Every structure is written in C-alpha cells, then in structure tokens.
Structure 1
Amino acid sequence: MNTVPDTPGVNHRMPRATGLRPGIAHRSGDVTAFTAEEAGVLAERHGLATVLDLRSAPEVERYGPPRGFLAHGVRWLRVPLTGYPRDTIAARRPDVADRARYLHGILTDSVPGSWTRLFRALAQVADRPFLITCHFGKDRTGVVTAALLSLAGASAREIAADYAAGTADLLAAADRFRDKWLRRGHTREDYLSRLRTSPVTMERWLAEVDARYGGIGPALAGVGVAGGDMARVRDLLSVPAHPGAPDSEAPPDSDAPPGPVPAGPAVSRGPVPTDSAVPPGPVQADSDQADSVQAGPVLPSRSSVRSAAADRGAATPGGSGDPAAPGGTEKALR
C-alpha cells in the first residue's frame, strides 16, 4: 500500500477504498521515525501538507516532534485523543472482544471536545493531503481512519483490511518500542501479540457502532462532532459524483492502482447531522488541553510556511522552537 520507496517511517500507508479520493489521506505510527528525506518525498512529490498528531502531551515530550516533516514546512497540528480507558487491554494478550472495547473507548471516552476539535481541524485542512498519526498508528489512528473511510463510503471489509495492513510493518519495527514493553513488564512475545491488527477486531467494532448508533455519522455526532464539519470532511474526502469535475484530480503520484480488497457491503455511515450550515470556525485552544492547537482558517502553501518560519525567528513568542508550547500553533524547525 505504500507508494514511497523503502516503506518510510513506521506503519505508513495511503488508505485506498471505495469512495475515497486517491492520495488525500495518509496514516502512520511514530511520526518521529520519518527521516527528512522520506518526509521530503511525501511533502514535495505527494503534496503532503499537514500532520494531524493524535499523541498526548507526555508522548510528544517523551518521543519528540515530527522533525523530518517540520524541516520541509509541513504543518503540524496537535489534536490529541486521550483520556479513554486502557484497562480493557490490560491483559498481556488481549482477545478480539477486549480490543474492540478498547477501540470503542477511544471513540466514546476520550477527553470531551477531542473529536470536536479533530473534525474542526480536518474540515479546514482535508482539501490537501494530510497524515493522521499516533504512537503505533493502529488504534487511535485506526479509529479515526475507519471513521473517515466510512464517511467516504467505504465498506466494512475495506476498512478492516486497511486496519489489518499494518501488522507486518509493526512487527518489523517492534524493537523500536522496546521501552514500552519493558515499562509494562511484558515480554517481547507478549508485545508482538499486541502489535498485531486483525481485521476481525475492526469488523466487530464497526458492527457494534452500527448496532448502537446506526452508523459512524450518529456516533460522531454523539461525541460532539458538528454536522457542518462532518459534512465538509465527507465532501473533501469523497470522489466527486461527476468524475470529470475539476476537483476529481488526484494529488501528485496517487495513480497507483487500488488494492485487491473487494468492496463488499457498505458500512453504515448513518445520517450526517446538519446542525450547522455555517462554515467551520477556527480550532480553539482549550485551557484544559494545552496540547490542542488553532488550525487557522487558511492553509498556506509549503513555501509560505517556510518563508513565514524564517521571518518569525526570534520575534515569535516562545521562539525557542518548542513545538509543544501550550496554546501554540504549528512551528517549523529553525
């Protein structure tokens, strides 16, 4: 599924599914694993403009910012999904039911407002290629990607296949996460088990969402996602109804053929709420979530981001170059 040589980063790919604009969405784990060269290929050749980072403030502090992307002027937005229960996967080797409950907790029990801010940011940046990322790129990123694919019209089978596609890369990168299994008292074999992403887990979770809420749309509305933001994200991600329309052009180098996964029955998107016809407003920083950011109403070009970064220099408050500064917007390395 990767279209960049030598599989950059960890668990990176561009999902391909029915209804999804080719090349618009990227997903990955450990955004710090991308070299500057790999990030440059994604930014310059594939048009990647924004990284949406789901990691918590402690994770960013421990592992660092996406330096490779920042070096190429890619925008870094911190939209953390945190606060959900982890006891559901406390066992050394959680089963499918445990894992599905864990995914559900990410959707329903993250810090209030998290999903609202995430979709508000997506509504402002998803007109250009973007990357969704967390630590492993499998659970938080998996739930967000599943929601986006569902809104675009993908089937449950396609969504589950995309979720499962990361197993090989995660297992190959297992030793990169050695500190985590040692801190938790797990063996390497235990952790390899936890890194596996079975399609059955995702299929079970999607079925539960359909049964409880009637689809992804109502479920997202239930956690505070505005109808206007949801509708805009759906429209930005979806292949236009008229293929000849100007906006049907794929981002650069996105002409690789889709994977062999058959579409299967569509997962229920449910009705997208229409509670607001007003264009999405700026993402507001939350005083209780210092690692949230303002997405800003207009996404500048990469060249203007680089130029602005150079001009800001020491004149920018907090100009130490610390991208994790509370209440700050994205910053390019200087």
Structure 2
Amino acid sequence: MTHTTEPALSTAQASARIPVPGTFNFRDLGGHLTPDGPVATGRLFRSDGLAHLTPDSHRMIDALGIRSVIDLRETKESASAPDALGAPVRPAGPALDHIRLPLFGDRYYPLEADHPERLQLPDHSLPTIYAAVVENCGERIADTIRLLADASAPVLFHCSAGKDRTGIVSAFVLTLLGVDRADVLDDYQATERYLGAEFLEAISRNFAQAGIVANLSHTATQAPREYMADLLARVDAEHGSVESYLTGHGLAPAEIHRLREVCLTHG
C-alpha cells in the first residue's frame, strides 16, 4: 500500500470547521492519524443541513472538489428544509449528484403517522436514539459507507445537525480506517464547539414547520463524549467490532478495503 504523505493534524485541526456560508458544522473528515498514516484530507466531508447555502457557499464547495452530496435526513426533514443545491443559488457549472439516503428509512419521522413500521421509542434522548440506530439502521449505514468508498470524487454527507446520524457514520468510517478510539470520540465531541444558539434557532424553526416535535435544546446541539463511547462499546460487545457489524449488515470486505485505499492513499 502506498500511504499518503500528508502530515497528521492535531485533533483540533482535524476537526476544525470549514466556514461554508449557511452551515454551522461543515468539516473535513481527514487529518487523523492511523497506523497506516494520516487519513487523507479533501476526500470525505461532513455537514449539517444545506438549506441556506449561498452562491459563495457553492464556490467553496466547488473549490473543495465535491461532486456528490448524501442526505441522511428523513423525507419529512428534507421537505421542510431542502438542500439548496440548484438554481438560483448554485452558479452555472457542473451539477452536484444529490443522493437521498434516509438513515432511519423514513421510520423515525414518517410521512404517515400510522406508518406500520414507525419506530416507537420510549423517549427521544440521544442514548435512546443512538441505540435505535444500532438496532435498526445497520444496512443504511453500510449503504452510506459503500457510497463513500465508491465515490470517484470528494463527497459530502450530512443530516440536520451534522452530529448524530452524520456523527455515527463518521465514527464508523474513522474506526474502519484505524483512527484511535480517543480521537474518534474527540472528533464527535468537536460538534459542540459549532452548534450554538443561532443554529438551534434555525433548526427549531425548520422542525416546527415540518410538524416535528423534539427536545431540540439538548438533542440538536449536544454531543457528550460518553454517548458515542457507549454506542461504540455496544457495537464491540454485541458484534465484535464496527467492521463485523457492518459486514453483518451487507458491507463487503472488499468495499472496506476500497474505503481504506481511497482514504489512506493517493492516486
């Protein structure tokens, strides 16, 4: 394997926000150190919602080389705050490939209140939501990581806050790449630096318009380190490892190898 020659970044540098107008939590997933060298920068990007992008946002996105966007939100969320990826916001240029892949399969915020497979949770706390992701979303997580591995150009994936669904996918990707668990947790917790009152106001308005009720003051802005630590510990205890969890939900070993080739090498 020919490893990237990029220098490793500090955890703070690796998790630094990219100031794309209209976003709060837009970040490069690269820069973290692994036994095989640093995770390549400029390959995988993560973000909160993209409903408030501007022409300047798109110029930055184009400069980053991003050619595809994966939206992990439920259809109800996306309809309330659609990604601003086309005209009149996006200047003339190549279209972005917009892939909708609701991580919960439209079962958490279903379009029909009586959806027969609606996820009925005892509460909407983050630990309960995270447990539901592990129990119900393995195939969708595998599908997302497959798309990241197959992308021929830089790709951006996001949800509403860029914290929970996006954070879990990010933690799984970094774990597959060999990033130390402490650095994975630091990257997850870094979200709390970027999601403040302005973000809470914006997302509360979007959720209210969609008729979604949630404890947003906590669930939308907080990323307690122990929540992701508990999720990863549960995956390890019940499935052996993140890799075993994902292969058990349809991600082929060859696809994991391809992700590593894309993210740990040049060329």
TM-score by length of 2: 0.74
1:170 is matched with 195
2:127 matches 1:100 = yes
1:232 is matched with 258
1:146 paired residue among 171, 186, 189: 171
2:53 is matched with 34
Structure 1 residues 101 and 231: CA distance shift in structure 2, 3 A: farther
2:75 matches 1:57 = yes
Offset at residue 105 of structure 1 (A): 2.1
Structure 1 residues 167 and 33: CA distance shift in structure 2, 3 A: farther
Structure 1 residues 9 and 221: CA distance shift in structure 2, 3 A: same
**Secondary structure in 1 aligned to 2:235?**
helix
Q: How do 1:147-296 residues align onto structure 2 when only pairs under 5 Å count? A: 147-172=172-197, 173-179=199-205, 180=207, 183=211, 191-194=216-219, 195-238=221-264, 240=265, 247=267
Q: How do 1:298-309 residues align onto structure 2 when only pairs under 5 Å count? A: none
Structure 1 residues 29 and 160: CA distance shift in structure 2, 3 A: same
CA distance in 1, matches of 2:225, 2:208: 24
Structure 1 residues 113 and 156: CA distance shift in structure 2, 3 A: closer
- Long gaps (5+) in structure 2: 1-14, 109-118
- Long gaps (5+) in structure 1: 241-245, 248-334
Structure 1 residues 7 and 158: CA distance shift in structure 2, 3 A: farther
1:80 is matched with 102
What is the aligned residue count?
Answer: 228
How large is the RMSD of aligned CA atoms in angstroms? 2.6
Aligned residue type for 1:214: G
CA distance in 2, matches of 1:164, 1:63: 25
CA distance in 2, matches of 1:184, 1:4: 29
Per-residue CA deviation, residues 147-198 of structure 1 (Å, 9 max, x unaligned), is 1111111111111111111123222311002233695666xxx532222111
CA distance in 2, matches of 1:150, 1:170: 24
Percent identical residues: 23
- Is this contact kept in 2: 1:171–1:196, CA < 8 A? no
2:35 matches 1:17 = no
Structure 1 residues 177 and 157: CA distance shift in structure 2, 3 A: same
- Is this contact kept in 1: 2:189–2:225, CA < 8 A? yes
Per-residue CA deviation, residues 35-94 of structure 1 (Å, 9 max, x unaligned), is 2211211222x212221111222222222133268655322122221136462543xxx3
Larger Rg: 1
CA distance in 1, matches of 2:255, 2:19: 34
**Secondary structure in 2 aligned to 1:87?**
coil
